[in-house]
Amino acid sequence: MKKFVFTVVIVVLLCALLLMSAGAEPAILYVNSGGETLAEPISSSYAIGDGTAMQLGTENVYALTGDGLKTLSGEAAENQSPELELGSVALRSGIVKVGLKYYYSPNRNSTVEAANLENSVGAGYQFGYFDSDRVFHAQSATSETKITMRRIGASGIGIYITGTNTLLYQVSSTNTSSMLAVRPVSGSGDAVTWFAGYKYYGDFEYVVLSAGNINVINVVPIEKYVMGVCAIEMNEAWPLEALKAQAVAARTYAARYIKNSIYYYSCGFDVTNDTYCQAYTGSTNVGERIIRAVSETANQFLTYNGRLCDALYYSSNGGGTEDSYNVFGNDGHPYLKGVIDPYEASVNHMNSYSSWRYTMTPAQLGARVNLGSISYCTVTYSETGNAIAITFTATNGSTARIVRGQCRTTLGMPSIRYTISRDAAGNFVFNGSGWGHNVGMSQFGAYAMAENYGKTYQEILNFYYTDIELSYGRLS
């Protein structure tokens, strides 16, 4: 069993201080994986952990069982839907490595010549490395609160007091298996560090790869990462149940790619901080509502047949989601099936992409598909009304065909939900709706389901993902 540090309070002892109140109705609560039950109201019991006793029902309290981390929080724990009690799913780690500044290809190069950190708590830093289990090992430390990482030689990195040439620590060479790690130290609570205009929880790693400049990686507990994703992928003011659905989807997406992504072995991180994965700018815009959404869904993941889902989502679908195969050509995602969406339209007034229109001349359209001037085109639509194949015929008789996601990317459309017509001048007119790839959960749809239809996050997830379950994570 690997060793990991959780950032939530994990209650490891549950004591039966049963304070039955008059007239209280008994309830069955399973308190461990051995089948023992607590036949009293949960709010009449206490849990011991972290040096304090907290009454269940008044705080977010957790218990660690053989099936993973269980939430024991008042009514939410008593009334959880049945699927939340079913099984668990194996996780590779509870720590996410996020590429903040990185090199992946010549057109995806955000590496930096120097990287500054400012520890806003004011307790300095430790320097060292992370082992393969993502456990930090300190080698040195400083009380300085502002430091700068700069390259030394071909692949070495030095740590300096910001604004000076005073060297605090250095490593002679780096690669993806021996990256320099920096841990901000806090006198109280979580360390909060400024980097490139944003605040971050967690630690940092630095490496010089083939591009020559420094790659910057945030090494952060998954729950803190999910808070940061929710803060930028949705909004603090959005409905709580929508934020919960976003939290579960973001957590699942990250967990699936920890140590198993296209970036991990070549770049040293699991996910990027941009739209190639999930948008993430640390904790800068995290508020109490997002903290609540993440804590009340802590350690919950979307699963299908006992495995983590590829929990895709996007801004809006315009009225219908789409099968993964029809967009990405992937048959291995049976939980990503297209559905007609009756909810999203109720928030069209909030969505600038609820309706859009683009016009191209025959020559402009032909250039998009490497043909001459287009004479006409034929569109194939899916059962949910999205464009999944288009055949173009040029005036000289030559043809071209695009399929699946190309119907959006090749033509530069906001989504695959559109019709094509001709105007009086003979131009091709695209009238559409939605923004994104249309596979999985619509964020505006989640907002509508929560705000206008009173749906829970479980109902939102079950609508947008087919035949899924919610499972608790366990570290393997």
Name the pLDDT band for 11 (thresholds 50, 70, 90). very low
* Structure confidence by residue, pLDDT tens digits, 150-173: 999 999 999 999 999 999 999 999
- How far apart, in whole angstroms, are the C-alpha atoms of residue 188 and residue 267? 33
At 406 the three-state DSSP class reads: helix
Residue from 288, 354, 282 nearest 315 by CA: 354
> 38 versus 332: which is more confidently predicted?
332
Name the pLDDT band for 23 (thresholds 50, 70, 90). very low
Mean pLDDT of 254-275: 94
Sheet holding 374-381, edge to edge: 374-381, 387-394, 399-403
How much is the pLDDT for 1?
A: 42
Mean pLDDT of 48-71: 43
Note the residue count of the chain.
476
Percentage of residues in the chain having pLDDT higher than 70: 82
User: Domain residue spans in the chain?
Assistant: 13-80, 95-223, 319-437
How much is the pLDDT for 14?
A: 32
Q: Which helix (H) or strand (E) holds 409?
A: helix 406-409
pLDDT at 71 over 70: no
* Structure confidence by residue, pLDDT tens digits, 331-370: 889 999 999 999 999 999 999 999 999 999 999 999 999 9
How much is the pLDDT for 414?
A: 98
Mean pLDDT of 165-189: 93
> 76 versus 475: which is more confidently predicted?
475
Whether 444 and 344 have beta carbons less than 8 Å apart is answered as yes
Whether 411 and 388 have beta carbons less than 8 Å apart is answered as no
Mean pLDDT of 239-253: 98
* Structure confidence by residue, pLDDT tens digits, 110-130: 999 999 999 987 789 999 999
- How far apart, in whole angstroms, are the C-alpha atoms of residue 129 and residue 217? 13
Mean pLDDT of 43-47: 43
How much is the pLDDT for 212?
A: 84
Whether 223 and 290 have beta carbons less than 8 Å apart is answered as no
- How far apart, in whole angstroms, are the C-alpha atoms of residue 110 and residue 104? 9
How much is the pLDDT for 87?
A: 74
How much is the pLDDT for 123?
A: 85
Percentage of residues in the chain having pLDDT higher than 90: 76
Mean pLDDT of 77-88: 48
Whether 335 and 467 have beta carbons less than 8 Å apart is answered as yes
Largest Cα–Cα separation, the chain: 87
How much is the pLDDT for 211?
A: 67
pTM greater than the 0.95 cutoff? no
Beta bridge partners of 188: none
Name the pLDDT band for 323 (thresholds 50, 70, 90). very high
pLDDT at 65 over 90: no
pLDDT at 230 over 50: yes
What secondary structure does DSSP assign to 95-140, as a single string?
Answer: EEEEEEE-EEETTEE--BSEEEEEETT---EEEEEE-TT--EEEEE
> 352 versus 75: which is more confidently predicted?
352
Between the ranges 17-31, 75-89, 96-110, where is the mean pLDDT highest? 96-110
Sheet holding 146-152, edge to edge: 167-171, 156-161, 146-152, 114-119, 193-195, 198-200
* Structure confidence by residue, pLDDT tens digits, 274-307: 999 999 999 999 999 999 999 999 999 999 999 9
How much is the pLDDT for 29?
A: 44
* Structure confidence by residue, pLDDT tens digits, 447-463: 999 999 999 999 999 99
- How far apart, in whole angstroms, are the C-alpha atoms of residue 114 and residue 31? 51
- How far apart, in whole angstroms, are the C-alpha atoms of residue 284 and residue 282? 6
- The rounded mean pLDDT for the chain is 86
pLDDT at 379 over 70: yes
How much is the pLDDT for 86?
A: 59
Mean pLDDT of 216-231: 98
Whether 218 and 192 have beta carbons less than 8 Å apart is answered as no
How much is the pLDDT for 30?
A: 43
